[in-house]
């Protein structure tokens, strides 16, 4: 038993909305915090649309019932009574450490777990800014959260065994499959996936092959469900670049360095599906 009933999520973007959705579908009471009213409304609409799709596909009985367990708010202090808070804000170390300091002061139960969905920032950096490093862990979901079953559990050197067990048991209660990872940038999956995506971007940038042919090559020749450039668009090119930078910072290996084209696309606001254009264009 995880002893978790009340879940908090910070950030209601791509991942935060997904984590809130699967938690509410798992029967938990969920409070989601966004940075302002407009984003909270957008997050609420994103959640509602996803739940209605799940209802239409027969995956849940009632979108309204699940939505009834979720509140999207803008005041962080509404997380005071939570047993578990999962942070899913922008992949920026300063923003995340500032938030963990605040959460540590706000969340009252000494047993409460503060978790991060970070893809690449060492959990230790977040743990040490709190007064409860034993209760800080990585719980790394995959995108799209309602669809992909893998979750990486990433304890830091200071996380205690009970916190790790409770995090695993929470994840299992959502119908997800946890794997254990060491606290190294990229954990297991991104340490392998990001250099693969960066290689595809370099191949496209060099004019070696078109985006479509690179992606078709991997779909038809290696049975990947989608090609690496389509996957980068799905992850978000800003997030892809941020994860690559964290990996490069940690290991200083060339294969993790973001290629210039990726940097230019992020500067241009071509972030993939979420902005309607990346390596491909999308209907918004």
Ligand X SMILES: NC(=O)c1ccc[n+]([C@@H]2O[C@H](COP(=O)([O-])OP(=O)(O)OC[C@H]3O[C@@H](n4cnc5c(N)ncnc54)[C@H](O)[C@@H]3O)[C@@H](O)[C@H]2O)c1
Does 181 sit near ligand X (CB under 6 A)?
no
Can residue 10 be called a binding residue for ligand X (CB under 6 A)? yes
Instruction: Give least dist CB 129 to ligand X, A.
Output: 14
Which of 23, 50, 118, 156 contacts ligand X by CB under 6 A?
A: 118
Q: Give the 3-state DSSP-derived string for the chain, with helices as H, strands as E and coil as C.
A: CCCCCEEEEECCCHHHHHHHHHHHHCCCEEEEECCCHHHHHHHHHHHHHHHHHHHHCCCCCCHHHHHCCEEEECCHHHHCCCCEEEECCCCCHHHHHHHHHHHHHHCCCCCCEEEECCCCCCHHHHHCCCCCHHHEEEEEECCCCCCCCEEEEEECCCCCHHHHHHHHHHHHHCCCEEEECCCCCCCCHHHHHHHHHHHHHHHHHCCCCCHHHHHHHHHHHHCCCCCHHHHHHHHCHHHHHHHHHHHHHHHCCHHHCCCHHHHHHHHCCCCEHHHCECCCECCC
The distance of closest approach from Cβ of residue 177 to ligand X in the complex, given in angstroms and rounded to an integer, is: 15
Contact segment (CB under 6 A) with ligand X among 27-35, 53-61, 122-130, 262-270 equals 27-35
Rule CB under 6 A: say whether 272 interacts with ligand X. Answer: no
Smallest gap from residue 232 Cβ to ligand X (A): 10
Q: Should residue 15 be labelled a site residue for ligand X when binding is judged by CB under 6 A?
A: yes
Query: Is residue 119 at the binding interface for ligand X, with CB under 6 A as the rule?
Result: yes
Please report whether residue 146 would count as binding ligand X according to CB under 6 A. no
Given candidates 86, 239, 265, 279, which one binds ligand X under the rule CB under 6 A?
239
Binding region for ligand X (CB under 6 A) = 10-16, 33-35, 39, 88-91, 95, 99, 117-119, 140-143, 235-236, 239
């Amino acid at each position: 038993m995880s002893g978790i009933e009340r879940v908090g999520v910070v950030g209601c973007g791509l991942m935060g909305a997904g984590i809130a959705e699967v938690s509410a579908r798992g029967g938990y009471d969920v409070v989601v915090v966004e940075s302002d009213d407009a984003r909270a409304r957008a997050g609420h609409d994103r959640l509602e649309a996803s739940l209605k799709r799940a209802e239409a596909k027969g995956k849940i009985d009632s979108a309204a019932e699940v939505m009834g367990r979720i509140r999207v708010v803008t005041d962080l202090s509404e997380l005071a009574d939570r047993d578990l808070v999962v942070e899913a804000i922008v992949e920026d170390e300063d923003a995340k450490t500032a938030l963990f300091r605040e959460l540590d002061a706000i969340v009252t139960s000494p047993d409460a777990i503060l978790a991060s969905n970070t893809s690449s920032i060492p959990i230790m950096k977040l743990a040490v800014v709190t007064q409860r490093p034993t209760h800080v862990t990585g719980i790394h979901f995959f995108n799209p959260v309602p669809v992909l079953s893998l979750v990486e559990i990433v304890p830091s050197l200071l996380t205690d065994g009970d916190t790790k067990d409770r995090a695993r048991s929470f994840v299992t209660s959502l119908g997800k499959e946890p794997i254990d990872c060491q606290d190294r940038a990229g954990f297991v999956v991104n340490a392998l996936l990001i250099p693969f995506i960066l290689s595809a971007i370099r191949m496209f940038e060099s004019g070696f092959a078109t985006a479509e042919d690179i992606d078709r090559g991997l779909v038809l020749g290696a049975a990947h469900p989608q090609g690496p450039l389509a996957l980068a668009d799905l992850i978000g090119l800003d997030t892809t670049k941020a994860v690559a930078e964290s990996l490069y910072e940690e290991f200083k290996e060339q294969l993790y360095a973001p290629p210039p084209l990726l940097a230019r696309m992020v500067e241009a606001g071509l972030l993939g599906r979420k902005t309607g254009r990346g390596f491909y264009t999308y209907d918004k």
